[in-house]
């Protein structure tokens, strides 16, 4: 099989992709191996490996820092847009296909959600703007490239850039015995990265047509409902109360509603990702927090 180059191999999604993409042809590269912002290094890597596919999971996603700190904003646009544009062009020149990971944060959360792949975008924060810019630059480079939007990612490897993931944060707070407040006015489909990785592998195996694909867990919930289910499955009873986005006071606005319709993958006959509650149970079992 032709080589598949995986960028950002140290991340929580990429750790799961390593398990499901064909191992004989997979070349996983961490940031220490190649920095996506080093344009000449990207060219050298592509020339050395001649991949048929490049799967890019790299991103600068410190959402609140990007909103309030000009240097973080600059870095977000370098990593999430400018570097992605160069990568897309470099792939096109070598007749490789790029599959790039994007986010539900390209949507602002107003009507008419849930959002299909061709729905009007309206990012609510600077991070979302940087990711949308990357999407648009990929499309300009080559419409054969693939953009996968997902939401609320959590995986066994954790997210080093965010200091863990939401599930781990909730469990850590519960074990500390502290009261926990979680927003109840942001609705999404939290997605287990092992399920997302399997969906991405199906797109690659099918040599799916170019463009945008939504891949998220089935169903929807608020962050508060997600937290409540985490504690139910783990048999924990912390002091959990709902709050609002305004009361929580994060520097960056989040979408109030960012449920995505997984229409294009379904149209190809590809299996949907499991419901979010099943993904959560599978994650907690993989972490050995619960038994089946």
In a 10 Å sphere around its CB, with 0-12 CB exposed, 13-18 middle and 19+ buried, how is residue 138 labelled? Answer: buried
Q: Which fold has domain 4-286?
A: Rossmann fold (3.40.50)
pLDDT at residue 160, as a whole number: 59
Question: How many C-beta atoms surround the C-beta of residue 237 within 10 A?
Answer: 9
Which backbone phi and psi does 162 adopt, to 5 degrees? -110, 10
Q: What pLDDT sits at residue 158? A: 77
Question: Residue 147's beta-bridge partner residues?
Answer: 100, 212
Domain residues of the chain, as ranges? 4-286
3-state DSSP helix/strand/coil percent for the chain, to nearest 5? 45, 15, 40
How far is it, in rounded angstroms, from Cα 146 to Cα 45?
A: 20
Closest CA to 22 of 51, 58, 48, 57: 51
Q: Which uninterrupted H or E stretch holds 211?
A: strand 211-214
User: Active-site residue numbers?
Assistant: 127
pLDDT by 10s per residue, the chain, length 292: 689 999 999 999 999 999 999 989 999 999 999 999 999 999 999 999 999 999 999 999 999 999 999 999 999 999 999 999 999 999 999 999 999 999 999 998 877 779 999 999 999 999 999 999 999 999 999 999 999 999 999 999 876 555 679 999 999 999 999 899 999 999 999 999 999 999 999 999 999 999 999 999 999 999 999 999 999 999 999 999 999 999 999 999 999 999 999 999 999 999 999 999 999 999 999 999 998 6
Rounded Cα distance between 105 and 120, Å, is 12
Residues 6+ apart with CB under 8 A from 218: 189, 272, 273, 274, 275, 276
* pLDDT value for 2: 87
Distance CA 16, CA 165 (A): 15
| Packing angle of the helix pair 126-141, 83-93 (nearest 10 deg) | 20
CA distance 192 to 283: 7
Contact 157, 112 (CB under 8 A): no
């Amino acid at each position: 099989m032709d080589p598949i180059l995986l960028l950002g191999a140290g991340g929580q999604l990429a750790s799961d992709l390593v398990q499901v993409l064909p191992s004989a042809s997979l070349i996983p590269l961490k940031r220490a191996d190649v920095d996506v912002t080093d344009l000449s290094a990207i060219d050298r890597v592509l020339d050395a490996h001649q991949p048929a596919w490049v799967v890019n999971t790299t991103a600068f996603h410190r959402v609140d820092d990007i909103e309030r700190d000009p240097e973080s904003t600059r870095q977000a646009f370098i990593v999430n847009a400018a570097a992605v544009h160069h990568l897309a062009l470099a792939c096109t020149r070598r007749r490789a296909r790029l599959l790039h990971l994007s986010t539900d944060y390209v949507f602002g959360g107003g009507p008419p959600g849930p959002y299909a792949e061709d729905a009007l975008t309206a990012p609510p924060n600077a991070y979302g703007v940087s990711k949308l810019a990357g999407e648009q630059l990929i499309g300009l480079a080559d419409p054969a490239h693939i953009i996968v939007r997902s939401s609320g990612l959590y995986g066994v490897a954790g997210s080093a850039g965010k200091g863990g993931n939401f599930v781990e944060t909730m469990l850590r707070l519960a074990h500390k015995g502290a009261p926990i407040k979680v927003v109840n006015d942001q609705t999404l489909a939290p997605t287990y990265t092992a399920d997302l990785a399997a969906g991405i592998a199906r797109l690659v195996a099918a040599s799916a047509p170019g463009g945008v694909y939504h891949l998220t867990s089935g169903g929807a919930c608020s962050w508060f409902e997600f937290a409540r289910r985490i504690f139910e499955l783990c048999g924990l009873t912390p002091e959990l109360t709902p709050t609002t986005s305004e009361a929580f006071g994060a520097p960056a606005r989040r979408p109030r509603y960012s449920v995505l319709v997984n229409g294009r993958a379904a149209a190809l006959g590809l299996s949907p990702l499991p419901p979010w509650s099943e993904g959560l149970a599978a994650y907690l079992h993989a972490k050995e927090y619960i038994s089946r």
